[in-house]
Structure 1
Amino acid sequence: MHGPASPGWLLFALCAATGVYCLLRVGSAVGEQRRAAGGEALMGFGMAAMAVPAAVVTPPRWAWLVHAAVFGAVAVRALWAARTSPLHLHHSVSTLAMVYMASVMAAAPGPHGSHGPTGVPAVTGALLLYFTGYVLWAGLRLIPVAAVAGGTEAAGAAGAAGWRDRPELVRACRLSMSIAMVAMLLAL
C-alpha cells in the first residue's frame, strides 16, 4: 500500500484488471455470479486505488476515511448476505480487511501506512493467515482435475458457458484479489 513504484504499479494493474473483469461479469446469465460481481468489482477498484504508489498521489486523511466508510457499508451488506451463502462470508472478511487497511492509512502520521518498530498487530497477522490460507485453498481449486478426467467433453461444456460464466475465471479473479490482499497486508 503506497510502497515502491514498480510493485505498486503491478499491484494496481492486477487489481484494476480484476475489477474490470468483475464489472463485465455483472451482465452474466447466472444470477449468483451477477450478484457477487458488483461487490468484487468494487473490491478490485478499491484495492487498485490503495495500490497507487505514493510518489504519484498521496491521498489526504479524509480520503482514507471515506474509503473505510464505503467498505464498511459493503461489509454490512456482505455480512447480511452471508446468512445464505458462504461466499459472502469471504466477501465480508475481504471488505472488513479493506476497512482495517484504510483505517491504518488514515491513522498513519506520514504518507505511508506502517506498523513501525512495534511489529505486526494481531489483526494484520490474523488477516495474513486468513488470506494466505484462502490463496492456497483457491489455488488448489484451480487445478483442472475435471478437465483432465473429462477430456474434450469438459472443454466443450466450458466453451458453451460463455466467458462471463466460466467458474475457473471467477476463481482466478478471487484468487488474484486474495494474493493482492496478502501483498497489501505485508506492505501495510
Structure 2
Amino acid sequence: MHGPVSAAWLLVALCAATGAYCLLRMRSGVKEQRRAAGGEALMGFGMAVMAVPAAVFAPPRWAWPVYAAVFGAAALHALWAARATPHHLHHLVGACAMVYMAVAMAAVPPGAHHAHGGAGVPLLTGVLLVYFAGYVLLAGARLVPAAVTVAGASAGWGDRPELARACRLSMGIGMVAMLLAL
C-alpha cells in the first residue's frame, strides 16, 4: 500500500492484533462465533500483510494473483455461508474488496507509484469507501451499548460480543484506510 509509513505500520499492528484476537475467538463454545471468527482472522491477517509499506517489502508479482485467489475463495465461502446467516454478506463484501485491491496492486507496474492526477477515484473504490464508512459508523453506534454482561457470569475472551464488535469496527476502519491509500 502507498501512503505514510508510520500510518501503514499502525494499520499493520491494528489488523494483526485483530486477526490474533479472532483466532482466540475460534475457541468459542458457540459454533457461529467460531465460523465468523475464522473468516475475520483471515481478513485481519490478510489486511495486515497488504498494509506493509511498499518501501519495506514489495511482494513479488506472482503474490497478488495468489492473494486474489485466496480472497476469491473466501468470497465464495462467505456467499455460501450467507444462505444461513446474513452477516456473512459483510464478509462477502470484505473479501471482494480484498480481491479488488489485490488486482489493483497487480496492475501497478513494478517500482511505479500511483499518479495522483485528475483521474479521480474509480467508481468501485468509491462504492466500497461509502459501504465501509457506513459500516464503521453503524458498528461504532452498536458498540456503545454493548457493555452488557451476563448475570454474574464471566465470559471467556472468545465469547465477548463487545470485543468481537470492536474487532469488526477496527477492520472496517482499516479497510477505509486501505481503500483511501489505494
Shared fold, TM over 0.5: yes
Question: Which amino acid in structure 2 is aligned with residue 50 of structure 1?
Answer: M
Question: Which amino acid in structure 2 is aligned with residue 13 of structure 1?
Answer: A
**Which deviates more, 107-116 or 51-60?**
107-116
Superposed CA deviations along residues 43-87 of structure 1, whole A, max 9, x for unmatched, are 000000011011211112211111001000110010111111111
Residues 51, 184 of structure 1: 8 Å contact kept: yes
Which of 164, 169, 174 aligns to 1:175? It is 169
Consecutive unaligned residues of structure 1, counting only runs of 5 or more, are 148-153
Structure 2 residue 76 is the aligned partner of structure 1 residue 81: no
Q: TM-score, normalised by structure 2?
A: 0.93
Superposed CA deviations along residues 77-126 of structure 1, whole A, max 9, x for unmatched, are 10111111111000000000000000000001244663742111000000
For the residue of structure 1 that corresponds to 2:62, the secondary structure is helix
The 4+ residue runs of structure 1 with deviation greater than 6 A are none
User: How far, CA to CA, are the matches of 2:113 and 2:123 in structure 1?
Assistant: 16
User: How far, CA to CA, are the matches of 2:152 and 2:175 in structure 1?
Assistant: 29
Residues 24, 157 of structure 2: 8 Å contact kept: no
For the residue of structure 2 that corresponds to 1:86, the secondary structure is coil
Superposed CA deviations along residues 120-175 of structure 1, whole A, max 9, x for unmatched, are 1000000000000000000000112x65xxxxxx4454852222101000000000
For the residue of structure 2 that corresponds to 1:143, the secondary structure is helix
Matches within 5 A, 1:12-27: 12-27=12-27
- Deviation of 1:183 after TM superposition, in Å, equals 0.2
**Which deviates more, 89-98 or 161-170?**
161-170
Question: Percent of counterpart pairs with the same letter?
Answer: 70
Question: Which amino acid in structure 1 is aligned with residue 167 of structure 2?
Answer: C
User: How far, CA to CA, are the matches of 1:162 and 1:187 in structure 2?
Assistant: 36
Residue 113 to residue 77, structure 1, CA distance change in 2 (3 Å): farther
Question: Which amino acid in structure 1 is aligned with residue 137 of structure 2?
Answer: L
User: How far, CA to CA, are the matches of 1:4 and 1:166 in structure 2?
Assistant: 34
User: How far, CA to CA, are the matches of 1:156 and 1:76 in structure 2?
Assistant: 35
Equivalenced residue count is 181
Q: What's 1:166 paired with? A: 160
Matches within 5 A, 1:29-68: 29-68=29-68
User: How far, CA to CA, are the matches of 1:111 and 1:61 in structure 2?
Assistant: 11
For the residue of structure 2 that corresponds to 1:58, the secondary structure is coil
Question: Which amino acid in structure 2 is aligned with residue 14 of structure 1?
Answer: L
Residues 54, 111 of structure 1: 8 Å contact kept: no
- Deviation of 1:37 after TM superposition, in Å, equals 0.8
For the residue of structure 2 that corresponds to 1:48, the secondary structure is helix
Residue 115 to residue 143, structure 1, CA distance change in 2 (3 Å): farther
User: How far, CA to CA, are the matches of 2:84 and 2:160 in structure 1?
Assistant: 22
